[in-house]
């Protein structure tokens, strides 16, 4: 397990091994996502939005209607409780 110490300014140095796993380096951005109280993950935010263009092309032949979106939202909301 890798560990880091927090400075008085709230900064940390990410260990070399973790930077290699994440594929990040100097100047790259990292996002922190809270999964649950007391548990957070780091995600590299190194990709340009332009790289995402066309990523989901061909996944669905037609756009959803507002009614279809409402149905999916209601279903997922009821499942999460």
Task: Give the pLDDT score at 63.
Answer: 80
Contact predicate 24/12, CB 8 Å: no
Task: Give the pLDDT score at 58.
Answer: 65
The whole-model pTM stands at 0.52
Mean pLDDT of 35-47: 86
CATH of the domain at 9: 2.10.260.10
**In-domain check, residue 78:** no
Per-residue confidence band for 27, with pLDDT thresholds at 50, 70 and 90: confident
**In-domain check, residue 61:** no
Q: How many domains does the chain have?
A: 1
Contact predicate 23/44, CB 8 Å: yes
Averaged pLDDT of the chain: 85
Question: By residue range, what is the domain housing residue 35?
Answer: 1-53
**In-domain check, residue 28:** yes
Mean pLDDT of 8-30: 92
């Amino acid at each position: 397990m890798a560990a880091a110490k927090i400075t008085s300014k709230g900064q940390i140095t990410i260990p070399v091994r973790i930077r290699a796993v994440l594929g990040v380096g100097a100047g790259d951005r990292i996002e922190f996502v809270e999964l649950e109280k007391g548990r957070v993950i780091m995600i590299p935010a190194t990709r340009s939005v332009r790289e995402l263009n066309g990523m989901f092309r061909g996944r669905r032949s037609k756009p959803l209607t507002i009614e279809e979106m409402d149905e999916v939202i209601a279903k997922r909301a009821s499942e999460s409780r």
